[in-house]
A and B are shown apart, each in its own frame.
Chain A
Amino acid sequence: MNNKGFSLKDLTKKRLFMPIACLVVVLLINLIKTPDFFNISINNGVLYGYIIDVINRGSELAILAIGMTLVASSSGGTDISVGAIAAVAAAVITNILSGGTDSVSEFHAPLAVAILAGLLVAVLCGMWNGFLVASLKIQPMVATLILYTAGRGIAQLITRGQITYIRVDAYKVIGSQFGHNPVPAPIYVAIFMIVVAALFLKYTAFGLYVQTVGINAKAARLVGLNPVKIQFLCYMICGLMAGIAGVIYSSRIYSCDANNIGLNVEMDAILAVALGGNSLAGGKFSLPGSLIGAYTIQALTTSLYAMGVSSDQLPVYKAIVVVIIVSLQSPELYKLIKHHKKTGAEKKNLIKEAVQS
């Protein structure tokens, strides 16, 4: 009994064990339940199939997971406003492109300018969160709750409560495909962002700084780091990532639906981080873990869709997964189980004694 618990603990200590195991489980279930899950075909010049869908749809989530990982590591909190920030960014972009009308068939402003403006607004949102968390020391969830609820309101105001359509082919590129390349474009964007993030972490000391601040902010200050600045930067990057995700979301539907862009995605991003073996209480992080976590969550989502679960109902399953993961991460759980076993054993002994006497 004891032995088993020990080896399990050893295994789960390996950083990437949990996310990979979960991914394998999800894929296995699919293999049994939906055998055509792994079929890939080419329809209208685009790769097609469930597995492609997972990688394609997982692009935004993977990008968001990068930002969420940094936020969780440095501040021991999570940013629940990412979905709303994505909506705001999309609203800004479509509004600039449409020049204030509800549907256009040509750009009213250069695409690059619009996208830059959208990303800038997303960065500003991130800075707002960063200011509240790092400078004012407000609990991350309360601080980001403000934009979580107000963000969509702001997006609605920008789009005047309408769904703004941009019916221009150039706008659809990021969300569909580059020219005749059969691989969906969002995948390239995600790969690009992942590579940029990986290079940034590899060739600067940023990752080390973030972890140091997350583990011991006092010591971090004494070795010459500025914890406030570093946390602020993490929230800013998280905002930028949300903005980039917003661009892809919006391009996919060549419009901005402020109510639905990035809806419930904050939960997925948090799940990706937790599933990746990163503690939501801060400290060491593993980007590969979070990314595997992100695609696992997307695989779960796609499989649930494949099994006929509606998008409204998905959160039920994800909520349960979150509770299971954080419960398993809680040291108190093991204490409780230990205590239970102990009292159980004591009772047994008592019975034994009673029987013997």
Chain B
Amino acid sequence: MKDEVVLEMKNVNKTFPGVKALTDVSFKLRKGEVNALMGENGAGKSTLIKVLTGVKDYEMDSGEVRIEGNPVVIKSPQDAQRKGISTVYQEVNLCSNLTVAENLYADREPMKFGLIDWKTMNRKSQELLSSLDINIDVTKVLSNYSIAMQQMVAIARAVDMDCKVLILDEPTSSLDDQEVEKLFMLMERLKKQGVGIVFVTHFLEQVYRIAEHITVLRNGTLVGEYETKNLPRVDLVAKMMGKSFDDLAEIKSEGGSTKKDEVILEAKGLGHKGTIKPFDLVLHKGEVIGLAGLLGSGRSELVRSIYGADKADEGELDFKGKKLLIGAPIDAIKNGMAYLPEDRKEEGIIADLSVRENIIIALQARRGMFKLISRKEQEEFADKYIKEIQIKTASRETPIKQLSGGNQQKVIIARWLLTNPDFLILDEPTRGIDVGTKTEIQKLVLKLASDGMTVMFISSEIEEMIRTCSRMLIMRDGRKVGELGEQEIDQMNIMKAIAGGNE
């Protein structure tokens, strides 16, 4: 019984134009177990799940899916549900304007005389939830309940639709400890009923509490499947972070950022409710500070609160010796900060505008509407950076959306370099771009620092942080949990700090 495989994916391949998203990935889930699917950004977790649940445009190129040994083809998420695979997302995929009962029985409502039988529906819902030990009023509108409760309702719906495989996609990201505990109790109960659970999360703590197996993906390939009890935390982090084998070893000696004493930024008790707990921070001129932590650890949230992208709601900030009140990003820009956001597509590029316009927009915003940068100057600026950081584009008038990811990222870096900032924040600047461009960006960071710029660098790749950073801050669960000086920065120390715990 324990070893009965309920779901098996074999040698799954998936290519998007220009990107190989999954290469020969295999995955196995046994009845009544929790298998944690882990990996950093771009590892291929979400692609794998989308392929499995038949999301549009995610049909696999090759490979095989078997449910209880029988090969199946899954055409759509609905089809997946019919075949026994249900998914509960972090953003609850229910209708929060309907009652709990309706959400449980939407599209399969009990009918009487051709009309919906609300009484039966409510009674059955109440029974279903009580059987799972969830005690809420099913006649109330779903939005009255917390996200945690809504997720449990979603799980209950899945269970009632006879699911054999339950995929929980980062269900705990926005839950507090108590809520997580409740969710785990529900998961234990489902395990006993023989449901196989795929658990996607970034929280190591939780994985070690509930999962029997851990499957690690990296860069679209399978690193391996391990028994939780035989895999120490540090090993897990190492497997997730991996080691880049690109030949970059010489960079550091070349640039070698040295710490200077002049303080440029000091944060005292800065925080943003719900995302980042109050933190203190001191940065010096000309240093490269790495911000390490797993996805969801608060590393992006920390820099966003400094830059004013999410306005800090407590604490204070001194920048260049002056107390700063940042209400919106423009205040940060005017004082010499720059921020390359994590989500290039949603928050970085202005898709339909040309490379030239994308480069000058921040400087233009800083100068103000009436001090237009002349066309000639704009072209000079654009040409300068296209040459200097080697942006590959047909012309400076090409819409940025036609460039490759790496070149789009370079355009955004150019946009900020043009404003000549004292403090540059780079949030995952090298994600999803080719090795060559990665190296270029790393070199650029070191050069900027040696010219006196302070750079904050966030990356999921430990190797590149080790090479570029002179100091590292470690984040975990929305908290700044540690700091490593230049001498302490090495793979082992970082992973230990990120993993936490006692191992």
A and B touch in the complex (CB under 8 A): yes
Interface residue ranges, A against B (CB under 8 Å)? 203-206, 208-209, 211-212, 215-216, 218-226, 283-284
- Report if A224-B365 is in contact (Cβ < 8 Å); known contacts: A203-B372, A211-B353: yes
Instruction: Contact check, B361 vs A223: say whether CB atoms are below 8 A apart.
Output: yes
With the chains together, A216 CA to B349 CA distance in Å? 8
| In the complex, chain B residues 350-374 whose Cβ is within 8 Å of any chain A Cβ | 350-353, 357, 361-362, 364-373
Q: Which of B2-10, B230-238, B326-334 contacts A (4 or more CB under 8 A)?
A: B326-334
Q: Does B415 contact A (CB under 8 A)?
A: yes
- Report if A224-B353 is in contact (Cβ < 8 Å); known contacts: A205-B369, A219-B347: no
A206's closest neighbor in chain B, by CB? B369
B378's closest neighbor in chain A, by CB? A208
Instruction: Contact check, A212 vs B353: say whether CB atoms are below 8 A apart.
Output: yes
With the chains together, A224 CA to B368 CA distance in Å? 10
In the assembled complex, the CB of B362 is this many whole angstroms from the nearest CB of chain A, namely 4
Instruction: Contact check, A226 vs B330: say whether CB atoms are below 8 A apart.
Output: yes
The residue in B330, B348, B369, B371 that gathers the most chain A C-beta atoms within 10 A of its C-beta is B369
28 contacts across the A-B interface (CB closer than 8 A): A204-B370, A205-B370, A205-B373, A208-B361, A212-B357, A212-B361, A215-B350, A215-B352, A215-B353, A216-B347, A218-B346, A219-B346, A219-B349, A219-B350, A221-B309, A222-B309, A222-B339, A222-B341, A223-B329, A223-B415, A224-B330, A224-B333, A224-B365, A225-B365, A226-B328, A226-B330, A284-B352, A284-B353
Instruction: Contact check, A222 vs B329: say whether CB atoms are below 8 A apart.
Output: yes
Instruction: Contact check, B349 vs A225: say whether CB atoms are below 8 A apart.
Output: no
Q: What B residues does A221 contact at CB under 8 A?
A: 309, 328-329
B368's closest neighbor in chain A, by CB? A205
With the chains together, A204 CA to B351 CA distance in Å? 22
Q: What A residues does B367 contact at CB under 8 A?
A: 205
Q: What B residues does A284 contact at CB under 8 A?
A: 352-353
Contacts beyond the supplied A218-B346, A223-B333: 5 A-B pairs with Cβ under 8 Å: A205-B372, A209-B369, A211-B350, A224-B329, A224-B366
In the assembled complex, the CB of A219 is this many whole angstroms from the nearest CB of chain B, namely 5
Interface residue ranges, B against A (CB under 8 Å)? 309, 328-330, 333-334, 339, 341, 346-353, 357, 361-362, 364-373, 415
Q: What A residues does B370 contact at CB under 8 A?
A: 204-205
Instruction: Contact check, A204 vs B361: say whether CB atoms are below 8 A apart.
Output: no
| A interface: dominant SS | helix
With the chains together, A49 CA to B349 CA distance in Å? 50
Q: What A residues does B339 contact at CB under 8 A?
A: 222
In the assembled complex, the CB of B355 is this many whole angstroms from the nearest CB of chain A, namely 14
With the chains together, A204 CA to B367 CA distance in Å? 11
- Closest 5 interchain pairs by CB? A224-B365, A224-B330, A223-B362, A224-B333, A205-B364
Instruction: Contact check, B351 vs A216: say whether CB atoms are below 8 A apart.
Output: yes
Q: What A residues does B348 contact at CB under 8 A?
A: 219, 222
A225's closest neighbor in chain B, by CB? B365
User: How many pairs of residues, A versus B, come closer than 8 Å at their CB atoms?
Assistant: 75
A220's closest neighbor in chain B, by CB? B350
Instruction: Contact check, B346 vs A208: say whether CB atoms are below 8 A apart.
Output: no
Q: What A residues does B369 contact at CB under 8 A?
A: 204-206, 209
In the assembled complex, the CB of A123 is this many whole angstroms from the nearest CB of chain B, namely 18
With the chains together, A219 CA to B329 CA distance in Å? 11
Q: What A residues does B329 contact at CB under 8 A?
A: 221-224
B365's closest neighbor in chain A, by CB? A224
A202's closest neighbor in chain B, by CB? B372
With the chains together, A105 CA to B350 CA distance in Å? 56
In the assembled complex, the CB of B418 is this many whole angstroms from the nearest CB of chain A, namely 11
Instruction: Contact check, A225 vs B330: say whether CB atoms are below 8 A apart.
Output: yes
Instruction: Contact check, A215 vs B351: say whether CB atoms are below 8 A apart.
Output: yes
Q: What B residues does A208 contact at CB under 8 A?
A: 353, 357, 361, 364
The residue in A208, A209, A284 that gathers the most chain B C-beta atoms within 10 A of its C-beta is A208
The residue in A204, A209, A219, A226 that gathers the most chain B C-beta atoms within 10 A of its C-beta is A219
The residue in A208, A218, A224, A226 that gathers the most chain B C-beta atoms within 10 A of its C-beta is A224
Q: What A residues does B351 contact at CB under 8 A?
A: 215-216
With the chains together, A215 CA to B368 CA distance in Å? 19
With the chains together, A206 CA to B361 CA distance in Å? 11
Q: What A residues does B371 contact at CB under 8 A?
A: 205
With the chains together, A220 CA to B309 CA distance in Å? 11
Q: What B residues does A203 contact at CB under 8 A?
A: 372
With the chains together, A220 CA to B333 CA distance in Å? 13
Q: What B residues does A218 contact at CB under 8 A?
A: 346-347
Neighbour of A283 across the interface among B347, B352, B366, B372, CB < 8 A: B352
A228's closest neighbor in chain B, by CB? B328
With the chains together, A219 CA to B408 CA distance in Å? 14
With the chains together, A208 CA to B363 CA distance in Å? 12
With the chains together, A223 CA to B370 CA distance in Å? 17
Q: What B residues does A206 contact at CB under 8 A?
A: 369
Q: What B residues does A216 contact at CB under 8 A?
A: 346-347, 349-351
The residue in A204, A205, A215, A226 that gathers the most chain B C-beta atoms within 10 A of its C-beta is A205
Q: What A residues does B349 contact at CB under 8 A?
A: 216, 219
Q: What A residues does B415 contact at CB under 8 A?
A: 223
With the chains together, A215 CA to B367 CA distance in Å? 21
With the chains together, A209 CA to B360 CA distance in Å? 11
In the assembled complex, the CB of A69 is this many whole angstroms from the nearest CB of chain B, namely 15
In the assembled complex, the CB of A22 is this many whole angstroms from the nearest CB of chain B, namely 23
B330's closest neighbor in chain A, by CB? A224
A203's closest neighbor in chain B, by CB? B372
Q: What A residues does B330 contact at CB under 8 A?
A: 224-226
Q: What A residues does B361 contact at CB under 8 A?
A: 208, 212, 223
In the assembled complex, the CB of A229 is this many whole angstroms from the nearest CB of chain B, namely 10
Q: What B residues does A226 contact at CB under 8 A?
A: 328, 330
